[in-house]
Structure 1
Amino acid sequence: MALISSILALRRDKRILKIPPYLSALCVIVGIAWLLVLPLNEYSRGTYVSENALLPGQVHTYFTGSEHNVFRAYRHEVHGLIDKPVAERSQRLETIFREQNLKVATQHYNYTVSNRTIANENVYAILQGPRADATEAIVLIAAWKNMADEVNNSGVALVLTLARYFKRWSLWSKDIIFLIPGDSTSGSQAWVDAYHDGHDQRYVESLNIKSGALQGAVAVDYPAGPWGQRYDKLHVVYDGVNGQLPNLDLFNTAVQIASGQMGIGSVIQRMWHHDNSYKDRLQTMLRGMISQGLGHATGPHSSFIPYHVDAVTLQTVGDGWHDEMSLGKTVESLFRSLNNLLEHLHQSFFFYLLLQSNRFVSIGTYLPSAMLIAINFSIAAMALWVKSGRRTEPIANPASTQPKSKPASSADKEDKGDTKPTHDIKHAKEKAPAPQQPATELLEIDGALAIVPVASTTVTERALLIPALLVISAHALGLVPLYLFNNWDADHLPGLFITTANIITLFPIAVAFLFNYTSPHILTLQALTLIQCFSLLLLGMFLAALATLNFSLSVLIGVACVPLSFVRRSTNMGINAVQLGMLALLNPCMVVQIGTKLLGGNLAEILVTAAQGWHIWGLWTQVVVWLVWFPAWIACSVVVASGIFD
């Protein structure tokens, strides 16, 4: 019982509140350090194929010889369609597929995003597998224009050639769909949405013909001109929308076939020269985290992954000795492996970080990093909750406040007729409560130790309604920029961004001024503490849940919000001004602008791409920024700004 009483007594000890900031800092430091050790051999492992049925690189490929002449003929024909109207181009591609005895159809789509129209046509053909029952299908994609807005001349020609080549084989146990979307992102998204009946018929046309469940997809990005161009390596692009990833078995199969069977080097995340050093591993991992955190589409394959269709893009890079025949053999061998599947890919990892093409980190190893960063906010919130329920009151020195009474003499007692028995007086003294001693502490004053009274801490009732309503209002306020940035005119988006950045920077100061001079009873010290408490608690909960869906986005937002755990309202106006200046540099708009400059991007293009992602891909990065990060920043900034006007 004495032990329990001692533990319960710690709740009133003010020293307990000094521990959480150090504990939060420890969680952040360990979380970031956890990421930095992942590239080491002890925390990562080599890639391997879990699904034995794939048998990558175990078949002999026959795509050679006369197929090279067919490819060159198609390449010149595709080159002649570059300047043709969309309808004429689609009609010609449709004719080529129909000449190969394939079922062919077209699909028109027309999106309007930020007062810009995105209209084009998709052409697709279906090869019915001789041994298939139309229940499963594999997709081969070559977008008319790649992510760099270049005409995918040789890529489209290669798909046309492979369609003719695959038609002659009787070994296919799955249908093969050949898809040529109008562009790399919107076209493939429109097609896969319509294939799964998830499209809006006002903007996307329904598909006239379909096959079975999609088991996988491979996109080819080979923008060589009419005379061709040899390449050095294959850049395997695997990032999907919202940071989703394909099954690692598909990626490993593509790399193993390219590197092991065809002798083509494989690279990822634009690391053209990777020497397997710690620095290159770390840089590759961070590039992958940024790409997954942004959540944008990185190729035609990205739109398939949200529908649980594993997909990758094979992009040719460099200037070497490999030609289109090597790429054709790679695709043939990859489709032969996918053709062997008896069930959907499921045995390998869906959550991973790649350090290079043959080394990865699994979710069980890297997830604690994001959780530690998220826990730091929860620890700070709990400390603020305890602090909000305590009220500190100074205790005056009894020696100076209580009047000293003169001791009564025996004569006085006799005059008062005090004849009370001695044993009664003793009994009364035993029942009387002992006088309460004031709380004291040992301090050094003028070089000498002295015992002085200190403030006492009492438990007070928390007024939760107003702080909860203000935090909810901050989250609701995030809906305004979320709507504006996704629906504003594309030509005026940069101006809207600059205006919003200025308003956001001044908004906390304006709110604090308004409340302090019009309703000072609302933003009391307890209310401000509870506002920051609720905000950090929600932030920690959101980031912990997000870490299981998009680890990279959770880490990026968590690191950007770390200062929110440590800023506090101070009685010193200078400290409040310094904290407010630091928070002004960490508001979402400033971070986006600084990040854009560091990554060498164009702010206007990023804003338009984000709006397209919202309307076409279903991007949720903006939701996290404006409904999770922004409200937490607003709440903490208002708390700090309120100290300036005291």
Structure 2
Amino acid sequence: MEAEGMEKEKEKEKKNGEQQQPLNNKKKRKPRLIVRLGSLLVSHYLFVSVVCCVAGAVSLLLLPVLAKNTYISENALLPGSASPMFSGQDVSEAKNFVQDIIDMRYTDEDKRIELLRLIAQHMADVGAEVYHHKFHSHSTRFHPLQFFSCTPGLAVVQTNRSCSLFGVNSVGIIRAPRGDGKEAIVLVTPYNSENIQLNEAFSLGLAYSIFSLLSRVAWLAKDIVWLAADSRHGEYTAVSAWLKDYHNPFFFGDAQKVDSDMCPMQNILHPGTNSQVFKRAGTMAAALIFKVMENKERSERDRLDIYAEASNGQMPNLDLINTVHYLAVHRQGLSVMVGTVSSLLNSAWLKFTGEILQGLSRLAKSLNPDWKFEITPADFVQGTATLASSIYYQAVGVPTGSHGAFRDYQVDAITLELSPRTSLNIENAQSAFLLRSGRLIEGVVRSVNNLLEKFHQSFFLYFLAAPNKFVSVGVYMIAFALLIAPLPIVAAALFSDSKRKESSMDASEKSEEVEREADSWKWLHAAKVVFMVHLWTVVVSLLPYKISQFSGITTTTSMLLWVGFSVASLLILYRVMGSPYSYSSKNGEWKILKAVTVAAASIGLGLMSIINFSTAQIGAMLLVPMCLMVRPLRRHAVAAFSLRILVHHACNLALVLVGFPPAGSIIVKAFSEGFERASIGTFWEWAEFLWAWNSATYLYLLLVHLPCWVLCVLILCHP
């Protein structure tokens, strides 16, 4: 019996050992690959940061080389597949209409009404439905609730406004013979009703000839809307006011009734026509804003300038630009241009970089003939200047024309500026120029008319490197990803380094329980500092709302008031919440503060990349080096002097100076327009420009960039 009991106990011990063995093996199992990779990156964060930043800068510089040729993605567009119908007879109609406008020498309100009657009468003669849309100017006063709204805030309607303060748009609608009224194409021609110029008269004449042609064609499947926008209060104001009423039906209140009775427009057309009834067509498939411009510089060919940037970096579908470019170059022989930064065209370092890239491309081609990315220095400089312009105007977040009002309603629209190679006063040049321009607009309308659905095949996120070259989102986002990749790695490395130093401290230094608890929760103090600085910047961003209500003060005074109130609120916050240096720095508190700052910067840049990628891209170029390089200046004060320490201090101070938004704006304006034009009020003018257009860049500067700059200054001054 005893032997049997011993055998049973041995079997139980064997079973227990077999059960414990998998547990021990499980404990000894290596961590997952992603954990080991993360630990490797954190342990070598300095090397990773340098490699990522250099790679991000190089990839950003190589974007002109990586740009691809544009192409038509939507096969249904079929640009240039049909012969144009715009002929010399249409040119004669345009010239006659221009002559009628020129003959009207008006200086008072009655003559202005005569111009409206002339436009409306010509619209009605081609069988269009005609009405007039009355609007008033927009208010540019700052208001925090206007951000991300479709249009700038409207001024309050007052009953004592005179008729001269209102603008009147003339609108004509052609119902498509083959359509069902559910879609429409909009043509917009802005003009100043108070003082119309020769080029504006040609714009109206060109629009009328195209409108007349489209009223007679049999292939039209979408309604055509011609908006003769009264731009006396601004082109964008006229178009956005009409679009707001088009998409948001309104009901007349007492204020509108007073305005309607005060400025009657019933008798502009022939008797019996009510020109104040707002009429609508179908959903807008696309919109073309075209203007005739007087070209001061004589050229060999007629010129076409394309403007596409809308609010907060929005762009129309690339197929619309590709269609215009194809028809303009390959059918009408026009010289197509997009925006460029002219100061970069004569840059010596860009030309030198282009020569280096050309040599590298030739070397790569000799190694493998399939590697075809050769680019000349001239093309590289031109592509860089065009790409810089595209990034800048998207980053500013302000539309480059009235087409931005359409993009706010998700309608693809661009502005076309047509310039003749000679003066508009030359008779022969007029006919040839109007013929080419009319056939171009007709071809674009015909291509959009072929669509069975809205533009969706091509890109919406892209940079233009030339009229026929673009950089897609899949390429240019690599530079941004490389720039911000070190931020979370550095934040984790700083935090882990601080915890490692804390755990390796002597027992004598950790004797008191209060000190041990303070060391364990010092990250909470850093998080509180970061949170309070961001809360302070919210107050700073709202101060212009009160300052802008002061009348009769200059921009310099407004800027000084802004700075004064901001400093005062910071001192109040300092008194209420205490000093950010309340904890001892011997245990590496500044590293925890820097870790939280870097994490906040990465989150802010990531969120901004969703709203406006270009703003986040430019912000990352300034913010990432500043956040990575910053460290307390006093920590090197006791060390021996060395060139490395001197260079590090100089870089920190330079980045802090350039990274301060007011200082950066003054430096940019000084180098671009001259030091005599730069002043303290420069940043106020820029900020006022941004908030007037509801640009999200204003929010980025004050809610992301400014708090990170303040935190970097706190780290530099850390004891």
TM-score normalised to structure 2 length: 0.70
Deviations along 1:91-136, one digit per CA (max 9) or x if unpaired, are: 5433432343322231313322239979633322211111121100
Q: Which residue of 2 aligns with 1:25?
A: 50
**Number of the residue aligned with 1:431:** none
Alpha-carbon distance in structure 2 between the residues aligned to 1:99 and 1:6:
77
CA–CA separation in structure 2 for the residues paired with 1:48 and 1:519: 56
Q: Which runs of 5+ in 2 are unaligned?
A: 1-26, 143-153, 156-164, 261-275, 346-375, 423-428, 509-515, 638-644
- Alpha-carbon contact 2:293-2:419 (below 8 Å) kept: no
Whether the aligned pair in 2 keeps the contact of 1:391 and 1:459 (CA below 8 Å) is no
**Equivalent pair of 2:341/2:388 in contact (CA under 8 Å):** no
Distance 1:253 1:397, change over 3 A: closer
- Are positions 1:101 and 2:127 aligned together? yes
SS of 2:204's partner is helix
8 Å CA contact 1:505, 1:587 repeated in 2: no
- Hey, what's the Cα distance between the residues in 2 that align with 1:287 and 1:46? 18
Number of residue pairs matched?
576
**Aligned partner of 2:556: which letter?**
G
1:81 Cα deviation from its structure 2 partner: 6.9
Structure 2 counterpart of 1:294, from 396, 399, 405: 396
Alignment of 1:328-407 (within 5 A): 328-392=438-502
Matches within 5 A, 1:496-511: 496=557, 498-499=559-560
1:584 lines up with 2:657 in the alignment: yes
Of 477-486 and 183-192, the range deviating more from structure 2: 477-486
1:125 is matched with: 172
* CA offsets 1:527-547 (integer angstroms, 9 cap, x no match): 544343223212212323433
**Worse-superposed segment, 89-98 or 599-608:** 599-608
| 1:440 aligned partner | none
**Structure 1, 280-289 or 17-26: larger mean CA deviation:** 17-26
Instruction: Kindly provide the amino acid, as one letter, of the partner of residue 414 in structure 2.
Output: V
User: Shift of residue 293 of structure 1?
Assistant: 0.8
Distance 2:217 2:178 in 1: 11
Q: Report if aligned partners of 2:608, 2:700 keep a CA contact under 8 Å in 1.
A: no
Identity among equivalent positions (%) equals 22
**Deviation per residue, 1:60-101 (Å, 9 max, x gap):** 112222222221232234444775546665454334323433
CA distance in 2, matches of 1:577, 1:261: 59
Q: Deviations over 1:422-449 (max 9, x none)?
A: xxxxxxxxxxxxxxxxxxxxxxxxxxxx
Counterpart selection for 2:433 from 304, 319, 323:
323
Query: Whole-Å Cα distance in 2 between the matches of residues 110 and 518 of structure 1?
Result: 48
1:185 to 203, 221, 236: 236
Contact residue 41 and residue 489 of structure 2 kept, 8 A: no
1:420 corresponding residue in structure 2: none
Q: Any conservation in 1 of the 2:309–2:399 contact (CA below 8 Å)?
A: yes
Whole-Å Cα distance in 1 between the matches of residues 649 and 578 of structure 2? Answer: 19
- How many angstroms does 1:292 deviate by? 0.8
Partners of 1:231 and 1:200 lie apart in 2 by 50
- The alpha-carbon distance between structure 1 residues 317 and 572, as it changes in their structure 2 partners (threshold 3 A), is farther
1:192–1:375 Cα change, 3 Å: farther
Give 1:386 deviation, angstroms: 2.2
Contact 1:240 1:297 in 2 (8 A): yes
* Structure 1 position 216, deviation (Å): 0.3
Greater helix share, structure number = 2
Q: CA deviation at 1:388?
A: 4.1
Structure 2 partner of 1:137: 184
| CA distance 1:300–1:84, change in 2 (3 Å) | farther
| 1:36 maps onto 2:138 in alignment | no
Match of 2:696 in 1: 620
- Unaligned 5+ residue runs, structure 1? 399-456
Are 2:543 and 2:562, in contact at CA under 8 Å, matched by a contact in 1?
no
> Does residue 160 in structure 1 map to residue 208 in structure 2?
yes
Write out aligned runs for 1:555-594 (5 A).
Answer: 555-562=617-624, 563-572=626-635, 579=652, 582-594=655-667
Q: Residue deviations 1:244-284, cap 9 Å, x none? A: 11111110000000101111121111489999611111111
- In the TM superposition, what are the counterparts of 1:101-500 in structure 2 within 5 Å? 101-105=127-131, 106-114=133-141, 120-144=167-191, 152-181=200-229, 182=231, 183-197=234-248, 208-224=278-294, 232-270=302-340, 277-317=379-419, 319-320=421-422, 323-392=433-502, 460-485=519-544, 488=548, 492=553, 494-496=555-557, 498-499=559-560
Q: Distance in 2 between matches of 1:27 and 1:266?
A: 37
Q: State the shift of 1:477 in Å.
A: 2.4
Moved over 6 A (4+): 5-11, 15-18, 115-118, 198-207, 228-231, 271-276, 393-398, 504-519, 601-606
Deviation at residue 332 of structure 1 after TM alignment? 0.7
1:269/1:144 Cα in 2 relative to 1: closer, same or farther (>3 Å)?
Answer: same
Which of the two has greater strand per residue? 1
CA distance in 1, matches of 2:32, 2:224: 72
Q: Matched residue of 1:142: which SS?
A: strand
Is the 1:155–1:220 Cα contact (8 Å) retained in structure 2?
A: yes
Q: Is contact 1:107-1:121 (8 Å) kept?
A: yes
Aligned residue in 1 for 2:668: 595
Please give the root-mean-square deviation of Cα atoms over the aligned residues, in Å.
Answer: 4.4
Measured after TM superposition, the shift of residue 573 of structure 1 is 7.3
Equivalent residue letter for 1:560: L
Structure 1 position 468, deviation (Å): 2.7
SS in structure 1 at match of 2:708 = helix
